[in-house]
Chain A
Amino acid sequence: MIRFENVSVTYDGAAEPTVQGVDFEVPEGELVLLVGPSGVGKSTVLGAVSGLVPHFTGGTLRGRVTVAGRDTRTHKPRELADVVGTVGQDPLSHFVTDTVEDELAYGMESLGLAPDVMRRRVEETLDLLGLADLRDRPITTLSGGQQQRVAIGSVLTPHPRVLVLDEPTSALDPAAAEEVLAVLQRLVHDLGTTVLMAEHRLERVVQYADQVALLPSPGAAPVLGTPAEIMAVSPVYPPVVDLGRLAGWSPLPLTVRDARRRAGDLRERLGGQDGTPEVSPVTTAPPQPEAPPTSRLRLRLRLRLRKKPTPAPTTASPAEVHALAVRRDRVQALRHVDLTVAPGETIALMGRNGAGKSTLLSALVGLVEPAAGSVRVGGAVPHRTAPPELVRRVGLVPQEPRDLLYADTVAAECAAADRDAGAAPGTCRALVTELLPGVTDDIHPRDLSEGQRLALALAVVLAARPPLLLLDEPTRGLDYAAKARLVAVLRGLAAEGHAIVLATHDVELAAELVHRVVLLADGEVIADGPTADVVVASPSFAPQVTKILAPQKWLTVAQVREALA
């Protein structure tokens, strides 16, 4: 259905091809997963299928890409619109009209389908994706998961034979992600649709794939194979594969179910060794960071802290929220929320899209005013405190780290951050060097990868050394390596005494990093407790290792590895 024949793509101004030696075929009716670390050209390969690369992006494509027998060299994206449906990373930039129903019809209108056919397909798609209740709603008022479903629906209505998806579940909570994936699986099984999809969160998708195409490193040719074969050699792999490699299972299990069947003796070994499996290692003490860059960072931070007294009052606890209620656009975003954050504590806010996680973070930095109740951050009321004063008490890295960056070079950004924070010149730059080795001064923040940009924003916020650090969806778009670096950095900061609150959908990150999980639903706290207790109790928030080794309470592969060693 999709055929790459020795394809290489070189963008204008680039010395090296972004991808080369791409030579494989996706047969009709298969779901093929494209995996690899960040920046290996996954999006380029996907763009080549819809013809947007190189017709829209520019650059030179060598070789040949054919989709359903049509050569993308001679067919523009609009002439492929009836066979290829494409959904990019950001659903919001995909929408042309303003209501759900019109959006679903837009593609069919362009293709000139008959009105009665359009009507029928819109109704079918609304039911297929569970959007019937939202049909008249303006798209901007939908939650992230709903928008993602509308975006997929809008390319499904013309009945394309090929679906190309770039990270369809990254922005979604676990339940919404499973919904989207269930829909994709149904399309593949019932309608014979061919799906080519890139995704970082392998733990969510790898079991659905018929084949996996691995791009191992930038410029390297892709390797195609069955999921189990590829996962055995891949540099990126989900926790279930990690556990399988650790235990030496062959062939590697890809699903929790397969792994559970094999895990009997592993459970025995762990149970016999540990003796008290119901006590989780995480609750006893926060794991110490091992990565060398982090310890250097800690050392520097400690030196700097010793040099200067902390300007913020240290007597008050980093954050105290009492009976907080917030209204936003006539919607009760938060109601009666209580939360206390202790120094050195790492907390994850979890819950579905639109549950109020971001609102709670915004309230903590004074971006929204409470309708009732009180918020105290280091003893100050955030929305009444002047910004220069507030940054020494609390720092937030927003969902889109780019929002924090104004300057056109990394050096200028750092200088501005030092001025804003009243820190000694060079503070921020030193942090950037620790977090992002190898980033030079003159790079434009927009040219950094997602993970690098996050690290830069983190450094900018840390320049003021806030005792409370907030992160909104920090792992969106990060690969496993970048995530591991982030975990190491955050552990180091927590050990320094920074309190960290992160809003996240990433259960594996929560399992790895946090001491306490606060579960929100419809603006209310529905669970608040140690990570092991909260996530183990919930089927949708339990990490893979927990599911595999239940009823023993293990959270991460690292813990299991330590226990076995």
Chain B
Amino acid sequence: MGVPPLERSREWGRVGAGGTPQRRAAHPTRPHQRRPTLHPGAWWLWALALGTAATRTTNPLLLALLITTSAYVVATRRPDTPTARSYTAFVKLALAVLLIRLAFAVALGSPVPGTHVIATLPEVPLPDWAQGIRLGGRVTAEGLLFALYDGLRLATLLICVGAANALANPARLLKSLPGALYEMGVAVVVALTFAPNLILDVQRLRAARRLRGRPDKGIRGLLQVALPVLEGALERSVALAAAMDARGYGRTADVPAPVRRTTTALTLGGLLGVCAGTYGLLTAEGGTYGLPVLLAGLATALAGLRLGGRRSLRTRYRPDRWDMRAWLVTGSGVAVATLLVLASAHDPEALNPGVVPLVAPALPLWPAAAVLLGLLPAFVAPDPNPDPDPAPAPDPKDPS
């Protein structure tokens, strides 16, 4: 980590003369390269594809391989930002899900017929109307193993979402929205930052309770700070809204009335079409008209959005580019998902190992090799934390 950031920020000696032009000119500013980043959409597609792959298998070895793959990429390619630290939170959540799944298997029994009894819990007799539900009873190794496989699948999915969060801030993803949706996007981003700010407020106010001589732990303390925290958050939101307004948020261009009306008609009509088409697809009778109506609706709605973009004056500052690396990262994720889907159709036993009879799961060679494709981003994606040293030498970890 080298020098703490606060020390780097300002030299003690620059008292008073900091702003004079001569002084600034004498300070050679080094040519800056923006911290290299990958398009956030690529990271999200890659991570969601790995998640999709995880849903196709219950083989614990394959799932573990998927988790390792995503964790390795996160470890090498996550930027040093507050959102990136949320990865551990997702891992903890995944672990909790796994444990809860196991606890349910123990307490409620498992539908899997098993012969290897590990323990027998006292069974709670339930009334007639609760037939089919069991509380306590035999705990079998098969049942536990099944629950473990099942829970692991869900945990993998969560960890993949966590990886996406850590690698690309969801707020950055929202920046790539089309112009007509931008303002909504900003509202969502502001709402997203509301929660972290709220947590900071709670921590600060609970600390302040200590200064009043009240215990700073426990649920009562939390309840007592709830009102001041909400008041503070509300005040901050109003201040932010004022600041945004004063900085031009919501400025619109003058658009002729016919264009405005067409936009509304296209958007509304398109959305209706999407609804009708989806309904058609999901019901048995509408099999013939469903798909065309859905597609037509989508096209109309997109045209409406595009036209609506004319009302927005906004321009983008250094938008994220979808480059070759983004294609490679997305491609590697999609390849893993496709190959596992194919494998699950081709060889379902290997990807979903049985628990009855009790056997150790084997690692299917080709699907495992396919999962390893997901490691590609660790090598092609740019390193988000280049050496703070301004030496122009290319990153040795980065072959491109």
Contact = CB atoms under 8 A, between A and B. Distances in A.
A56 B242 contact: yes
A398 B206 CA distance: 13
Given A179-B18, A464-B213, A158 B243 contact: no
A221 interface: no
A522 B16 contact: no
B32 A145 contact: no
Most A CB contacts (10 A, CB to CB) among B5, B34, B169, B316 go to B5
A397 to B, nearest CB: 8
Contact of A186 (B10, B21, B216, B248): B21
A133 B32 CA distance: 9
Given A114-B315, A175-B16, A331 B251 contact: no
A537 B393 CA distance: 45
Interface in B207-242: 207-216, 224-225, 227-228, 231-232, 236, 239-242
A155 B97 CA distance: 46
A94 B238 CA distance: 10
A74 interface: no
A56 B85 CA distance: 37
B193 interface: yes
A143 B315 contact: no
A546 to B, nearest CB: 16
A107 interface: yes
Nearest to A457: B211
B317 A398 contact: no
A183 interface: yes
Interface string A95-117: 11110011001111111111100
B251 A387 contact: no
A315 interface: no
A108 B317 CA distance: 8
Contacts of A521: 12
Interface in A144-176: 145-146, 154-155, 158, 174-176
Given A115-B316, A179-B18, A461-B211, A331 B4 contact: yes
Contacts of A540: 15-16
A128 B21 CA distance: 9
A: contact size bracket: 35 or more
B24 A332 contact: no
Interface string A51-91: 11001100000000000000000001111111010101010
A77 B313 CA distance: 16
B7 interface: yes
B384 to A, nearest CB: 9
Interface string B286-323: 00000000000000000000000000011111100000
Given A52-B242, A175-B16, A406-B228, A96 B315 contact: no
Interface in B1-52: 1, 4-10, 12, 14-21, 24, 29, 32, 34-35
A112 B313 contact: yes
A352 B211 contact: no
Contacts of A183: 19
Contacts of B208: 398, 403-404
Interface string A361-399: 000011100000000000000000011101100011010
A141 B214 contact: no
A93 interface: yes
A145 B18 CA distance: 13
B247 interface: yes
B262 interface: no
B140 to A, nearest CB: 47
A155 B244 CA distance: 11
Contact of A403 (B24, B204, B317): B204
Given A77-B246, A96-B243, A391 B313 contact: no
Interface string A129-142: 01011111110111
A181 B171 CA distance: 34
Nearest to A141: B5
A137 B315 contact: no
A50 interface: yes
B240 A110 contact: no
B398 interface: no
Nearest to A394: B211
A446 interface: yes
B190 interface: yes
A140 B34 CA distance: 20
Interface string B118-135: 000000000000000000
B245 interface: yes
Contact of A115 (B193, B209, B315): B315
Contact of A352 (B10, B207, B212, B241): B10
Contacts of B317: 102, 105, 108-109, 115, 118-119, 122
Given A446-B231, A540-B15, A106 B6 contact: no
A409 B171 CA distance: 40
A77 B14 contact: no
B15 A110 contact: no
Nearest to A117: B315
Nearest to A365: B211
A395 B211 contact: yes
B234 to A, nearest CB: 11
A395 B210 CA distance: 10
Contacts of A522: 6-7
A417 to B, nearest CB: 7
A135 B207 contact: no
B68 interface: no
Interface string B47-91: 000000000000000000000000000000000011000000000
B113 interface: no
Contact of B215 (A78, A331, A386): A386
A96 B248 contact: no
Contacts of B241: 56
B42 to A, nearest CB: 19
B212 A178 contact: no
Given A95-B243, A367-B207, 14 more contacts: A78-B250, A78-B251, A93-B239, A101-B34, A101-B318, A115-B315, A118-B315, A123-B32, A143-B9, A154-B247, A182-B18, A387-B215, A391-B211, A522-B7
Interface of B: 1, 4-10, 12, 14-21, 24, 29, 32, 34-35, 81-82, 169, 171, 186, 190, 193, 204-205, 207-216, 224-225, 227-228, 231-232, 236, 239-251, 253, 313-318
Top 9 A-B pairs ranked by shortest CB distance? A182-B19, A81-B248, A110-B248, A105-B317, A391-B213, A112-B313, A93-B239, A179-B18, A403-B208
15 contacts: A52-B245, A82-B248, A96-B244, A110-B248, A110-B313, A110-B314, A132-B32, A178-B18, A186-B20, A186-B21, A367-B207, A391-B213, A396-B211, A403-B204, A460-B212
Interface of A: 50-52, 55-56, 76-82, 84, 86, 88, 90, 93-98, 101-102, 105-115, 118-119, 122-123, 127-128, 130, 132-138, 140-143, 145-146, 154-155, 158, 174-176, 178-179, 181-183, 185-186, 330-332, 352, 354, 365-367, 386-388, 390-391, 395-396, 398, 402-406, 416-417, 420-421, 446, 460-461, 464, 521-522, 539-540
